[in-house]
Amino acid sequence: MLRPNESRAFFGKYLNDPRVPLGHKRRETMAIAGIIPVAKWLAKIKQRSDVSCRLCRRAREQRGASTENLPKETYGHINSAFCDRMATTVAAVHHFIWRHLYASMQAAQTPASKHRFVTPDKESSMNTLWQEEEFEQICSRGLLTEKAAKLKKRSL
């Protein structure tokens, strides 16, 4: 809650906004307080003995993989692509948000704009972009690599 627009004042505005459903407010408050009922918290309050992720266990059992060395079931784990069972859902949400963001930026772009999005519907490596988009006309790949290395050294 130390980042800009994520402060306590911002959260207070969110909680007092009548347009935000009560369930959303409750989940956000529980997440910030660290009391989402996941295995790690349930073990902390002595309601569960095992802290391993139940979703990962089910996913591994379904595909016949070993259920040893399961990650801890935490709020962060379940909401990340590291959870075996949630990975496809998290990736789908990520792609949905990206497509919405891209469409919004495209809609706001003026005809006079010099900027253009080169990968709206797929991810591409820099090598692919260099070949397909003719970036060589702007600068050579070697020159870009040199400049990036210099910037990296400067930042360290």
pLDDT higher than 80, residue 64: yes
The pLDDT confidence band at residue 140, using thresholds 50, 70 and 90, is: confident
- pLDDT for 119-137, tens place per residue? 666 666 777 777 766 777 7
- Domain residue spans in the chain? 1-33, 46-110, 124-156
**Average pLDDT score, the chain:** 84
Q: Nearest 5°: phi and psi at 118?
A: -100, -15
Over 126-144, what HEC string results? Answer: HHHHHHHCCHHHCCCHHHH
Long-range contacts of 90-95 (CB under 8 A, 24+ apart): none
Contact (Cβ atoms closer than 8 angstroms) between residue 70 and residue 57: yes
Top-confidence residue, 6 or 101: 101
Q: Is the pLDDT of residue 148 over 90?
A: no
The dihedrals phi and psi of 72, each to the nearest 5 degrees, come to -70, 140
Average pLDDT over residues 37-48: 89
11 has a pLDDT exceeding 90 = no
pLDDT at residue 104, rounded to an integer? 85
CA separation, residue 124 to residues 72, 130, 131 (Å): 33, 10, 11
